[in-house]
Amino acid sequence: MVFFLFFDFFRHIFTFFFGILKEIFVFCCMIFIGGEIMEKLEYYYINRGTCAVIPIDKEVSEVIELDCSYIVNKSSKDIIDDSCRYFGSSYQGRFEGTKRILNMNYKLPILIEEFSNLIFFPTSSPRFGYSLWISFNNIKEYLKIDDGSKIIFNNNKEISLKTSYYSIENQIFRSAMLDSLIRRRRNV
């Protein structure tokens, strides 16, 4: 009995200190990422100003907007799914719709919201759950750099990615195809 009490006591202490370490890690990431303390949110819905959703940890993401950045206590895929649900669908529903429209199966761009044609694409397969999502609508240009690619958004903010230039180009092409086909279907 004493052993179980002793074990339970250390389990609670470990959980407490692990929680503190996670908070310190997120805080350090916030400072490292932009040199400034960002507002921390429990939820976030993608909007026209959202540029990127970047995973920091399994359940923590940075959201870059045109005029500010946030730390959100959710995975990048959960933010995408919550945003799809906010606008009346789900990630899975949007994925199946895109799959049918583009006749493709993997790393598909997702139409988050129809009215503004908010389209986001993953830089790696979302099946692995640790994917960075980029707004197709807010890309000004993309460049090839030594170890990957650089995306420049409409407000001139930049992010460098380890993802190859050709992979980013392919994702932008898929997003443009989705955008074009959806606009065409609306005008029919």
How far apart (Å, rounded) are the C-alpha atoms in residues 62 and 83?
A: 15
pLDDT along the chain (188 residues), means of 10: 50 51 50 61 94 94 95 95 96 95 94 93 84 96 95 96 95 97 86
Residue 98: HSE in the Cβ half-sphere, 13 Å Cα cutoff: 28
Q: Where are the domains of the chain?
A: 1-37, 38-186
Interval 156-186: pLDDT, tens: 999 999 999 999 999 999 999 999 999 998 8
Residue 164, C-beta contacts closer than 8 angstroms, at least 6 positions apart: 148, 149
Residue with tokens 């005008």: 187
Residue with tokens 């997120």: 26
Please answer whether residues 80 and 46 qualify as being in contact, where contact means their C-beta atoms are separated by less than 8 angstroms. Answer: yes
Read off the tokens for 158. 């930049």
Question: For the whole prediction, is pTM greater than 0.75?
Answer: yes
Residue with tokens 């100003």: 49
Residue 77, C-beta contacts closer than 8 angstroms, at least 6 positions apart: 91, 126, 129, 131
Read off the tokens for 60. 């923590």
